[in-house]
Amino acid sequence: MIEKTKTGAVDWDILKADLEALPKETLIEMISMWIQNYWTCQSYWVTFVENEHGVDNAIKIDGEVFKRSVKVQGKRLKELLNLGDDMYALAYVLKHTAPQWTPAGFRWEFEEITDERIKMRVRQCPMGDYRKSKGLELFPCKDLSTPLYDNLAKSVNPKINAVCKHAHPDAPKEDVMCEWEFTYEG
């Protein structure tokens, strides 16, 4: 049961105590909700920027924001969980950072994970779904997301590179939004 909120300062200790009091399943569902909220905000702000300042500016700003934020996300997760710097650490970071959270509507899989390579296929993404539902052109993810994934990979190990194998504006593939390959250049 949730306790009534009391008057007074709200700080991390108060919030942490609230979270610690929740059943594990509720906490997991709350995290899922936060992820969905994150991507809802992402879809709204980028569409607003597009409506006010044009698609080219929206793409540019979105690219810069994500390129920088994924580097921070990867670094924080690596430090929090004391992850290594190999391809398996990158696979874990890919699963647990914003670019492909499944609760937000991403449907994706790893096709291959080895010491030297990861192959990843995204079948569905919330931004693509949102843009399609509004009749908007898909973003050119091949150009837009390559720096994003490369920065995320380099947050784990500067010797890991990301290459887009397929994404818009490439010709559509059945049940595929994009495909990525990460390689260790050791």
Distance CA 14, CA 132 (A): 41
Task: List beta partners, residue 117.
Answer: 183
3 located within any domain: no
Alpha helices in the chain (DSSP H): 12-21, 24-53, 55-81, 87-95, 126-133, 141-156
162 located within any domain: yes
Q: Can you give the pLDDT at residue 1?
A: 66
Question: What's the domain count of the chain?
Answer: 1
Cα dihedral: 85, 86, 88, 89 (round 10): 10
Q: Can you give the pLDDT at residue 139?
A: 83
Q: Can you give the pLDDT at residue 36?
A: 84
Residue 153 belongs to domain with CATH number: 3.30.1380
97 located within any domain: yes
What is the residue-level pLDDT of the chain in tens, covering all 186 positions? 677 888 888 889 988 999 999 999 999 999 888 888 888 888 888 889 999 999 889 889 988 888 888 899 999 999 999 999 999 999 999 998 866 677 778 889 999 999 999 999 999 988 888 888 888 888 888 888 889 999 999 999 999 999 999 999 899 899 999 999 999 997
Length of the chain: 186
Distance CA 166, CA 161 (A): 16
Two tokens, residue 154? 């380099």
Q: Can you give the pLDDT at residue 99?
A: 66
6 located within any domain: no
Q: Can you give the pLDDT at residue 137?
A: 84
Residue 95 belongs to domain spanning:
12-184
Q: Is the pTM of this model over 0.75?
A: yes
61 located within any domain: yes
5 located within any domain: no
